[in-house]
Structure 1
Amino acid sequence: MKKPDPVPQLDPPPPDRQSHIWLVAPDEDSRHRLAPQALNGCPPLLAVLDAHRRLRGPFTAAGTLMRLLVPQALESRPELVSAHDIEVLSAAPELRAVLPCARETLTSLTPAEKRTRFYPYIRTTRIAHGLTDFLLSFLGPPATLLVLHAEHADRTDSEWLAILLRRADPRRLRLLVCTAGPTVPPALASALGSYAARWTSTGTETADDAVKVPSDPADRQARAAVFVNADCATEDPVGEECYAQLPPATRARLHDVRAGELQAAVDAGETSLCRGALPFHLEHGSDPLTAGSRALREAMEHLLLEGFYDALLDMGPRTQALLDWTAAPEECWLVTVRMAIAYSVMGGHAEDVLALYDAACAATALPSVHMSAAYGRAMVFTRYMEPERRDHQKAKAWVNTAVALSQLSPTAERRAYNLTFNENGLALIETHLGNPERALGLVDAGIARLDAELDNADQGQHRSVLEYNRAQLVARLQGPDAGAAAYGRVIAQDPNHSEYYFERAALLRLAGRSEEALADYSEAIRTSPPYPEAVYNRADLRAELGDIEGALTDFDRVLELDPDFLDAYVNRAGLRHACGDISGTAQDVTAGLERDAEQPHLLCLRGLIAQHEDRSEDALSDLEAAVRLAPELACAWVGLGDLAFERGEFGASVRCFDQALLLEEDPTTRAHRALAHESMENWAAAADDYTAAIGLLPAEETEQVQWLRDKLSYSRRRGRHQLWRGGTGRV
């Protein structure tokens, strides 16, 4: 009689049924049996998401959820979908059939052969936040998401899940994240450790539980076919072993059949399969050198244009293995340069980039390859290396090589384009060498050359890049007003490019044009998936303009997007303290000091809170630490002055207030110093401070002004009396 399968158990039971859940189960059977136990007591199931990157590559899980929810949202809340069009279409490109993008940029619209600008690595984080915003805004009653194979997720899904675990209240959206083992990508591991209760299966295996493959060849092939039809993306040891035992030709035929099914789905609109399962099966099918190579190269192009660099670098070596430099040098170069761009944008991979260029130049004598590799090396040495290793002179030598090789381009139009492109790189290097005038001359010459040699269609995105570089140089050389005007021309060409508004806002603020700057920060926020810097700068400007409520709302949003944004804690704590919110101030101070124990503004605020709570020793310790770290911190000197006054050390109190007023004129500090002077019977000095304080306060502050006038009158009377006694000697 067959021994019954052991029943898997969960160990330990969850300590908190209101938390997210991390279920560790070694195989599909265990997970199928354990998941119902884990789901018991959770809100209704919204969706089951398979996160294995082999299925659809970047945002496999998030894209599945978007394909489920967006058609519903377009019916009930179309404005919400439109506000997140970039994020939705990045995760689920097939939704372009029903969702036009209203925030296209020149970057998103430029085809691969004309692209000269690529998305920053951080863009996927922004997309993940936008998808989270959409989901939490659209979600109705409490629900649960079941996520499978999270350990095999692309970085995009890992990051999205980590953000969702942090931002989603599990009472409203519960996540049950399943992995085969405890090893997961670092960012996701941290979020699971912080926000999920871990359940681990135990008691499911015995010593003789080796993988048992069917003895019948037909059964083995059938089980292998099931494994392949699941895109080899399941924890199925038996199916995987059956697959491994098949002859290579039989395995290839199974992949061909699956590839045909997937191609039919792609033809019907399921385009995200092209960045995952389809190239995988063609790569392992009967024609890897042609069909497999082509599918991988097309996927790499899409991944580069979307900024999905981790997935691109996964496919790069697989594609290189199917190509030969002698037979297909152009195709080999495209694979190489796409990997080099990905490494460059990601940062921290300078040696990998240089090695790719070296290998390419050793493999071919094509002038175009050597020209592009020379430019790429120049950018590594001037921009992508760690700051202490950058060598701008070496960069200039390499870019001059690229400029020289531009002359070998086959047509006048191509020569003009390549020369302008490479001289734009030279302009960057000249800027780094401290020659901005020379850089501006190169950029202006490039713009004139493009206008003379190429029509607008052939100039493509590069013309906008030149105008942008020109705006940066004009701002540096001619000031913020001229720079803002130059940015205006750039924005006219590319009105949905968020960073242009962000940078122009800083110039407008420098020029004293605060309302225009505020409008630009709002436009920067509107035109992009969420990023904290634009919201932070708007918050800071709102606070400066007196919109405290708006500033606090923005600082809340900054910390929702980035809970480690230290300056947001500093500024929000300061505003909360000014509003009398001592509890909120204390929370921000604690959170901020956990991230930087020597942040002087936060130490100052903690000292002021301690002073408010009559903990004088703690207050003195924190305020002294604050002025030691930041002697220019006026509020800390004021706090020290107040503490000295309370101890009866009036001379020390005056000296602290003196230091504070050297740094920052303030009516309250004047009044405090006046009181200290009074305590030492320095009536004339007290009267001077009261007079100055009255002049600094607005007239509508009637109560404070009247109090100061009363104190001024008192000081003058006492001063006259002091003079009378001192001058006559009469009692």
Structure 2
Amino acid sequence: MVDLIQQRVVSAISASVELSAITILKAEAGMAPLPTIKSALARSNSNFSITDGDWRTGGYLAELQAFIDAELRWAKENRPKLVEAAQQSLKRLFPLLVSDAFTVPKDLTNTSSKEERTRFYHHEYQNKLLVGLAEFLINCARQLNERHIIVIDRAAALSGSAKNLIKLLVRLDDDARLFRFVLIDYEQRLYFPDASEVHFGRYSSQELAPSFDPDLPAEKHRQIYEASGGNPLIAEALSKCTAAGLPVVGYLDPTATVDLYLASLNTGERHSLLKSYIESDCTTPDLIAQRNYATFEPATADHLHEQMHDACLERYLAGKAPLVMLHALSVRDKYKRLELLAEPSQILQSIGLYDLWFGYFGEIFADPALRTYGSGDASVNAAFINAAFVLYSLGCGRVSVPYLDEFYKTFPKSRYTPTVLYAQSMTYGRYQQPVNLTLAEEYALRNLETIERDFRGHDKYDYIKVFAENAYAYIKAKQQKYDEALALCAEGLGKMLKAYGDERFKLHQSILIYNTSQVYELIDELPRAEKQLREAIAYDPYYGEYHNDLGNLLSKVAGREAEALEAYARAIELCPPYYEAHLNRAALRSRMGDAVGALADLDRTLVIKPNEWRAHFEKGNILMRQDRPKAALESYLAAAEISPKNPDLQSNLGLAYSELGKAHESIAHYVRALELNPRHALTHNNLAIEYFNEGRPDISLNHATVAVEIGGDPDYLLTREHIEKSLQADLATRRDRASASSAKPM
């Protein structure tokens, strides 16, 4: 296709890119806007690149991956410290990436075999990885003193991960204008907040003329143009049909004309066209090739896609290419498609890209025929069970539970049965709100009975049994039967060590030790909890969350604050941007009187997760202690936009408004806090003061009395005494006035 330029939108594109970090170009499919965009940005001083946005052909970050790879190559050679600083995000987001700049080994989650990997990442984990990646790319741009304009074709097919990366590059840019994006939307459905939109219209006949055969008569040009509607993809196809001797251009619908052209080709020609189109990852901008693909016998296309999928997956596993999933997703036989998607789905799950995974797997999960497909022991069954695992951890038990029940009834002797029953017990005992410990225990006990009956001779019998006992121990702890929970964990670890030593199934052994620590912490045996937690860390020293938990534990022990700070620092070092550790460290620093350090941690938390209401709330608390009520109010209001039903937050909003002299707003928030928690003593006390200052002592005394009755602070009694004395003095004054009035002569 020749380069065509639509002059009337050139200035609109250049102006939009100048003003907005993200420009969405709305265009009809086949309009070929790239030459026009190049013309619009020809005078820009920024680095200009064109990528494809379809994640199915370019990997989960689409062809942004090529840009990332280029920055990685430069950083490895010139600024390896940038790679080192971002290694915890890079090595997890790109698990096959190898670099000499990686200085910290992987944790057991990332080195264990598939059969042993029993940890699932929280759904927020993906955002942490992308924050780390975005900060790496921004730091590279700053070091190179470069600005980038990235044009993304087929941007409607961007993955959620890629969209989030774009948003982060814009949000974290600090107005440096390091990254600008032009997103081409052929599907008219792409949306980014604050993006500018430019509409790419149809080409005029003069603009489209270069794509026509100059030997064709002018009348034929006119017919082709009108039939194409000014769309170059259609015009080019119709020109080819005309050259092939089809005289129906302008009479039949363009699609019908192209289909008739295809009917004139022999089977070999059409097969060759199909093969080349599929080998191009179905990206050839040729309407004839597209229609040939759409109308060809599906089994042949499926076979070619399967071959391409196998080759693409092999290249990915060898670290030579991104994870291309187009060919598996394009197979029209749904059973074969599921089989091909099983391994890529496991890869996406292991990275934590759940939104992308369920973007296609949700439809599969809803298909009744696919839910019961397979032998019960096949990889396709494992894909469904893994999906159910993640769904229940996401709080979607109403989705996962029916499937797990269905699987158990359909495949009661499956090798995955213990996993299914484990998932059911944990759904009811941990993730469902409110929990149902009775039902959770029933599933846990059924699991143990099933394992004893059907898996006694299994070569991993001890591992399977201990894994199930671990769930039972969790339930016992939730039932406050701590001795039983501790015994199950200790006995389980002993069985594992006896059966496998301290190297095989090391991840699960560390989890058992960690769980023991958690139970000891629940019963306030902190020295024993610390001992077990440090043992878990010895098993898995590079798992940052263990260090965060150590910081939390040590922060409870007087005199060990410095050790807690060290543990938090280690957690932050070992993880992708880890807002929880910053949030926890902020609380400790605030308690230690280090307001500057605490605010720095809270600001870092909000960089990683802007909608973390607790960070806004704690920031407001520190600012109030610094006698900065106006700034505190801003933080409290930001928190309230996210979590409006927290009584402590509403109470503190009332206090901030009170400090600013806004009694009406103060009282409204105090009242709201009491609606949420009628026994919030501090709010009753503060509301009593506010009403008293407003000249309403009777209602003030009522709230002060409630505060004293609930208790918790001797100041509440002082508040009530002050109000009572004021009321008594007022009463005495009124009596004196009444007496003086009655003593006057008539």
Which TM-score applies when normalising by structure 2? 0.75
- Provide the residue aligned with 2:585 in structure 1: 538
Unaligned runs of 5+ in 1: 683-731
Work out the CA distance in 2 between the residues paired with 1:197 and 1:308. 28
| 1:511–1:261 distance in 2 versus 1, CA, 3 Å | closer
The answer for unaligned runs of 5 or more in structure 2 is: 205-225, 230-253, 731-746
Rate the CA distance shift 1:199–1:331 in 2: closer, same or farther, 3 A: same
Which of residues 293, 312, 328 in structure 2 aligns to 1:243?
293
| Aligned-residue offset at 1:520 | 1.9
Query: Are the equivalent residues in 1 in contact too, given 2:49–2:151 (CA < 8 A)?
Result: yes
Indicate yes or no: 2:343 matched with 1:298. yes
Aligned residues of 2:89 and 2:576 also touching (Cα < 8 A): yes
- C-alpha distance 435-270 of structure 1, shift in aligned 2 (>3 A): same
Q: 1:233 to 1:564 in 2, by over 3 A?
A: farther
Deviation readout 1:253-312 (Å, 9 max, x if unpaired): 754775587478558632533x5246557x579x996xx877544323333333334455
2:299 and 2:462 map into 1 onto residues whose CA distance is: 51
Residue 126 of structure 1 corresponds to: 128
For residue 183 of structure 1, the aligned residue among 163, 167, 189 is 189
When residues 101 and 481 of structure 1 are mapped into structure 2, their CA distance, relative to the original with a 3 A threshold, is: same
3-state SS in 1 of match to 2:555:
helix
The correspondence for 2:571, drawn from 489, 502, 524, is 524
Q: 1:152 to 1:353 in 2, by over 3 A?
A: farther
- SS of the residue 1:54 aligns to: helix
Deviation per CA, 1:9-50: give whole Å up to 9, x if none.
488974971442222223253432553477577661354343
Letter in 2 for 1:544: R
The 2-side partners of 1:378 and 1:650 are apart by 55
Deviation at 1:68?
1.7
> What residue in structure 2 maps to residue 414 of structure 1?
460
Q: Which residue of 1 aligns with 2:198?
A: 199
Trace 1:309-324 onto structure 2 (pairs within 5 A): 309-313=354-358, 314=360
Does 1:174 pair with 2:180? yes
**1:120 offset after TM fit, Å?**
2.2
Q: Does the CA-based 8 Å contact 2:58-2:322 persist in structure 1?
A: yes
- Tell me whether 442-451 or 256-265 shows the greater mean CA deviation: 256-265
Q: 1:72 matched to which residue of 2?
A: 74
- Specify the alignment match of 2:217 in structure 1: none
Is the Cα–Cα contact under 8 Å of residues 8 and 33 in structure 1 kept in the other structure? no
- Opposite residue 463 of structure 1, the aligned amino acid is Q
Shift of 1:196: 1.6
Partner Cα separation in structure 2 for residue 648 and residue 372 of structure 1: 65
Q: Conserved in 1, the CA contact under 8 Å of 2:281 and 2:327?
A: no
Identity score, percent: 20
SS at match of 1:139: helix
Distance 1:323 1:618 in 2: 55
| One of 366, 372, 397 as aligned partner of 2:413 | 366
Q: Distance in 1 between matches of 2:642 and 2:6?
A: 47
What do the CA deviations read for 1:374-422 (whole angstroms, capped 9, x no partner)?
33333333334x324x433333233323222323336475322222122
Provide the residue aligned with 2:429 in structure 1: 382
Distance in 2 (alpha carbons) for counterparts of 1:32 and 1:610: 54
Rounded Cα–Cα distance in structure 1 between residues aligned with 2:30 and 2:504: 53
Residue of structure 2 equivalent to 1:59: 61
Residue number in structure 1 paired with 2:483: 437
**CA drift at 1:545:** 0.9
**Bigger CA drift: 573-582 or 477-486?**
573-582
CA contact (8 A) 2:418 2:464 kept: no
Q: Structure 1 CA distance, aligned partners of 2:660 and 2:50?
A: 52
Please list, as runs of the form range in 1=range in 2, the aligned pairs for 1:260-409 lying within 5 A after superposition. Answer: 262=312, 265-266=315-316, 269-273=319-323, 276-277=325-326, 279=328, 296-313=341-358, 314=360, 329-356=377-404, 358-359=406-407, 361-362=409-410, 364=411, 366=413, 368-384=415-431, 386-388=432-434, 390-407=435-452, 408-409=454-455
Deviation for aligned residue 1:586? 4.3
- Structure 2 letter corresponding to 1:444: A
How far 1:108 sits from its partner (Å)? 0.8
Matched-pair contact (CA < 8 Å) for 1:87–1:130: yes
Distance change >3 Å, CA 586–CA 452, structure 1 → 2: closer
- Describe the shift of the 1:183–1:638 C-alpha distance in structure 2 as closer, same or farther (beyond 3 A): same
- CA distance in 2 between partners of 1:455 and 1:80 (Å): 39
8 Å Cα contact 1:8-1:30 kept in structure 2: no
Distance 1:416 1:571, change over 3 A: closer
What is the total number of aligned residue pairs between the two structures? 661
Partner of 1:27, secondary structure, is coil
| 56-65 or 415-424: bigger deviation | 56-65
Change (3 A) 1:224 1:567: same
SS of equivalent to 1:60: coil
Report the Cα distance in structure 2 between the residues aligned to 1:121 and 1:332, rounded to whole angstroms.
23
Which residue of the partner structure matches residue 471 of structure 1?
517
Quick check: 1:555 aligned with 2:602?
yes
Q: CA deviation at 1:125?
A: 1.8
Query: Partner residue of 1:154?
Result: 159
Per-residue CA shift, 1:151-172, capped at 9, x if unaligned?
3233332333343343334523
Shift in alpha-carbon separation, 1:235–1:490, aligned structure 2, 3 A: farther
Report the residue type matching 1:183 in the other structure: R
Contact 2:688 2:702 in 1 (8 A): no
Give the TM-score, by structure 1 length: 0.76
Is residue 64–residue 92 contact of structure 1 (8 Å, CA) maintained in 2?
A: no
1:31 is aligned to 2:33: yes
Question: 1:8, 1:217 → 2: CA distance?
Answer: 40
Q: State which of 133, 136, 139 in structure 2 corresponds to 1:137.
A: 139
Change (3 A) 1:566 1:268: closer
SS in 2 for 1:160: helix
Helix, strand or coil: the match of 1:501? helix
Cα 1:329/1:128, change in 2 over 3 Å: same
How far apart, CA to CA, are the structure 1 residues paired with 2:370 and 2:639? 51
Quick one: structure 1 residues 168 and 224, their matched pair in 2 at CA, closer, same or farther if it must change by over 3 Å?
A: farther
CA contact (8 A) 1:227 1:236 kept: no
- C-alpha change, 1:46 and 1:134, in structure 2 (3 Å) is farther
Letter in 1 for 2:279: N
Q: 1:229 aligns with which of 257, 274, 279?
A: 279
Separation in 1, partners of 2:429, 2:661? 55
